[in-house]
Chain A
Amino acid sequence: MDDALKNDLFLLVGYLLSSAHGLYDEPASYGPFRLLDAAGRLLEVMQSHNLSDPFLAEIEKELAKERFGAMSDLSMRDDLNALVMRYTAELKSRTPGL
């Protein structure tokens, strides 16, 4: 693993830990958002180190709409459900024996 990737993952660990601590005092709806944001950050790291693929790049674009929109646009639950189902279809296609 190269040093740049190690550093990006090191920073991601910090984000996850500081998010976990912050969520004790933040609104409950921030929890799903932090996980969604974490997925987006992980995909960014994968993308910047050529570890992504076209499907994940599409997912990253979809996540960006949620991450960078106005905070009151919390129709996020339905959008997340659609993303999970899209991911599931891809998972099935990638899983041998299904």
Chain B
Amino acid sequence: MMDAMDAIFTRRSVRDFTSQPIPDELLDKVLQAGVAAPSGGNLQACRFVLVQSPERLAGLRALAPGIIGRPTAMIAICKDNRPPSNMGGVGDEHSAWIDVGTALENMLLGAHSQGLGACPIGSFHKQAVAEFLDLPEHVSVVLLLALGTPRTSPGAPGRRPLSEVVFRERWGGSGSG
């Protein structure tokens, strides 16, 4: 099993996949990782639609320009928009959005730690994808997650240095204490 910090620092957004199908047990682990993510007020507002059929994947790809390569599985990360009280939770709309982010990151790292490539997709026609997936009215799709066996993996895109984005004790504060 890959160390958590190794997974964080070696993960890349993989868009180029082989045609090799993903074993169900690996996909289940990715989904379990998403469900296990932190949830504000334990609202658990995320819903997931797994697509594996080649024909359905091709259809999804036509509605989602952000899917560049040919993933062998896609997970639509959706949000249940009903009031928290209707879901037996205490969170709010804000925490539901955060839940999507925590679930996504868990799934990205879960996929990478199992040797899978993954890429979050934000460019898609939301209404068309919702229709294609037969989502009920109270559920909206927030992100798509493309998954597959990596054929190529991009280099690290670079990040701002800590000195630029991290402050100590107060905004603008630097140094170790």
The CB with the most chain A CB atoms within 10 A, among B59, B63, B156, is that of B63
The CB with the most chain B CB atoms within 10 A, among A19, A22, A73, is that of A22
Q: Which residues of A contact B125 (CB under 8 A)?
A: 18, 21-22
Q: Which residues of A contact B69 (CB under 8 A)?
A: 67-68
Interface residues on A, range: 20 to 34
Main secondary structure of the interface of A (DSSP, over half): helix
Say yes or no: A22 contacts B157, CB within 8 Å.
no
Say yes or no: A11 contacts B158, CB within 8 Å.
no
* Among A12, A22, A67, A72, contact of B123 (Cβ-Cβ < 8 Å): A22
Q: Is B166 located at the chain interface by the 8 A CB criterion?
A: no
Interface-lining segment among B8-16, B72-80, B103-111, B168-176 = B8-16
Say yes or no: A70 contacts B157, CB within 8 Å.
yes
A37-B68, A68-B69, A72-B157 given; A18·B12 CB < 8 A: no
Q: Which residues of B9-68 are within 8 A (CB) of A? A: 12-13, 15-16, 58-59, 61-65, 68
Q: Which residues of B contact A14 (CB under 8 A)?
A: 59, 62-63
A69 to chain B: closest residue by CB = B154
Q: How far is the CA of A37 from the CA of B68 in the complex (A)?
A: 7
* Among B15, B58, B128, contact of A67 (Cβ-Cβ < 8 Å): B15
Q: How far is the CA of A15 from the CA of B59 in the complex (A)?
A: 9
Say yes or no: A70 contacts B156, CB within 8 Å.
yes
